[in-house]
Structure 1
Amino acid sequence: MASPRRSGRQPLADRMYEVLLGQFTDGRWSAGEPVNIGALSRELDVSQTPLREALARLEHTGLVRREALKGYRVAPLLTEFELIKLMDARLVLEPALAYEAARRTTPEFLEEVLESVDDLARAATSPDTEVFSAYWTIDERFHLLIAAQADNPFLEKAYRSLGGQVQRFRFFAKLGSARGAPGLAAEEHRAVYEALAAGEADEAAARMRRHIENAKQRVLEDRKSVEAAELPAAH
């Protein structure tokens, strides 16, 4: 594998941002874990400067936090209040994005969405842990495709501004979800795609709303299960 130093003309800090974001997505980091810049520098064979620049960008997404005299740390899990409010924000934005995207479909857009739907279904049921770790990246691709196709830069920017917080949501989802939950999400993505392909804007919005509501319910149930498991046994 080529060293990050030889990754073409892309600025090194941008490359490191993508590398670190990929590590968060594939489960390399845990919520609350300290980020050892020196160890990362040695692992990735880069100086600490582009890593610090990349971490500063990640801080703006909400994925990492900088603590005085301590350096960077992966953001903690969302609280129940934050989970609810994040999903409520998605419930405002994403049905509107799906509605607008359904009114502007193109063959190329539908092909890309269908590809993401099929990829998600395979990842959700794959016994290969590396394939399953890509699940959240594929999930994000589906939602970003729809946001871009809505052709409303203000709505799209509003959705993208939630990106780091959605990643924090996925951190928690990975802790508690059984394999069945990703499979359900994949089915919901396919239902949204079918409405998009049919050009049914109202139905696309309704199915996206159901998907987000179901995801909200699943992660809240996961949270309760994890908390219950962490309680000390009664004597």
Structure 2
Amino acid sequence: MSLPIGKTTTASMWNTGRMPATDGQRRPKRVALSEWVYDELLSRLFDDTLPPGTPLNIDALARDLDVSQTPIREALARLESTGLVTRAALRGYRAAPLLTGAELDDLMHARGVIEPAVARLAAPRRTDGFIAALGETVTRLAEAPKGPTFAEYHAYWEADETFHQLIAQHADNAFLHRAFESLGGQAQRFRMFGGLGVSDADHAIREHRAVLEALDSGDADAAGAAMQAHVDAVRGRAAAEA
């Protein structure tokens, strides 16, 4: 996990008119339509083009992106699972509110319980393929852009998310994996502090490498301790930024 600095801009910056895609936002021909729509909405949520609380009208979004309603519905359902979008009966979808400081603290406490546990389980199950995949995500973390917009730090966030997901999957405990997935807070935390780039990349990359080395050793206690140290460090940095 890593923490982008700053907070999202205020809702007063929301342009209430249409948001036509620019040339740079147009769907690449080889990218699946559903993925492009998801990425476009994700970018707007992170960059505050769709601020917290914004109603997300399916028909309006479909017209804006020049697509049918089906990929919009699919994208919103996926975003709901991340916690970035909420849905209420008779009210439809909205951009989720930002986490409060107390909610962020609760989220990091939950991750501090779950993530060291999955790391301890994953370590004795290490395989060369698992370690290689984790190593590749750490390389991506180090090489990814870390600028102020979601387009610039998207690759970093994605690699960070993948690293933790791989460990949760490799623990081979369906209940813990579902608990990890249910948090959906990684994206929310990035959104809360996004806007000025990734502030703690150097620290986070070192911490990810320490977790990787502990997992590679196969030592369950070392892996759990390394992950606990990482989560605690992120929690401290988040508190300092809040």
TM-score, normalised with respect to structure 1: 0.77
2:11 corresponds to: none
Judged with a 3 Å threshold, the aligned counterparts in structure 2 of structure 1 residues 178 and 130 are, in CA distance, closer, same or farther, namely closer
Alignment equivalent of 1:167, drawn from 182, 187, 210: 187
Q: CA deviation at 1:51?
A: 1.4
Alignment equivalent of 2:58, drawn from 37, 43, 51: 37
Per-residue Cα deviation, 1:144-196 (whole angstroms, up to 9, x for no partner): 00001111111111101112x22111112324x76441221111101100111
**Structure 2 counterpart SS, 1:2:** coil
Q: C-alpha separation between the residues in 2 aligned to 1:157 and 1:183?
A: 30
Q: C-alpha separation between the residues in 1 aligned to 2:234 and 2:42?
A: 22
Per-residue Cα deviation, 1:175-222 (whole angstroms, up to 9, x for no partner): 4x7644122111110110011112222111101001111111111111
Q: CA deviation at 1:134?
A: 1.6
Q: CA deviation at 1:48?
A: 2.0
**8 Å CA contact retained: 1:25, 1:134:** no
Amino acid at match of 1:197: D
Judged with a 3 Å threshold, the aligned counterparts in structure 2 of structure 1 residues 82 and 125 are, in CA distance, closer, same or farther, namely closer
Amino acid at match of 1:138: A
**Structure 2 counterpart SS, 1:32:** coil
Q: C-alpha separation between the residues in 2 aligned to 1:124 and 1:209?
A: 26
Alignment equivalent of 1:75, drawn from 90, 93, 96: 96
Alignment equivalent of 2:162, drawn from 135, 141, 152: 141
Q: Larger % of helix: which? A: 1
Q: In percent, how many aligned pairs have the same letter?
A: 44
Q: CA deviation at 1:61?
A: 3.8
Q: C-alpha separation between the residues in 2 aligned to 1:62 and 1:208?
A: 23
2:19 corresponds to: none
Q: CA deviation at 1:33?
A: 5.4
Amino acid at match of 1:77: L
Give structure 2 stretches of 5+ with no counterpart: 1-27
Q: CA deviation at 1:67?
A: 5.7
Aligned positions of 1:58-73 closer than 5 A: 58-66=79-87, 71-73=92-94
**8 Å CA contact retained: 2:43, 2:150:** no
Per-residue Cα deviation, 1:24-61 (whole angstroms, up to 9, x for no partner): 68646554052353453134432124413432443344
**8 Å CA contact retained: 2:52, 2:95:** yes
**Structure 1 counterpart SS, 2:67:** coil
Judged with a 3 Å threshold, the aligned counterparts in structure 2 of structure 1 residues 178 and 150 are, in CA distance, closer, same or farther, namely same
User: Is the aligned partner of 1:214 residue 2:233?
Assistant: yes
Q: CA deviation at 1:73?
A: 2.2
1:200 corresponds to: 219
Q: C-alpha separation between the residues in 1 aligned to 2:84 and 2:226?
A: 28
204-213 vs 28-37, greater mean Cα deviation: 28-37
Per-residue Cα deviation, 1:59-101 (whole angstroms, up to 9, x for no partner): 3442212367764321111111111111111111100111111
Q: C-alpha separation between the residues in 1 aligned to 2:165 and 2:45?
A: 15
2:128 corresponds to: 107
Aligned positions of 1:82-121 closer than 5 A: 82-121=103-142
Q: Aligned Cα RMSD in Å?
A: 3.0
Judged with a 3 Å threshold, the aligned counterparts in structure 2 of structure 1 residues 114 and 57 are, in CA distance, closer, same or farther, namely closer
1:156 corresponds to: 177
User: Is the aligned partner of 1:2 residue 2:29?
Assistant: yes
User: Is the aligned partner of 1:23 residue 2:43?
Assistant: yes
Judged with a 3 Å threshold, the aligned counterparts in structure 2 of structure 1 residues 98 and 124 are, in CA distance, closer, same or farther, namely farther
* Number of aligned positions between the proteins: 214
Judged with a 3 Å threshold, the aligned counterparts in structure 2 of structure 1 residues 172 and 44 are, in CA distance, closer, same or farther, namely same
Q: C-alpha separation between the residues in 2 aligned to 1:149 and 1:139?
A: 16
Give structure 1 stretches of 5+ with no counterpart: 224-235
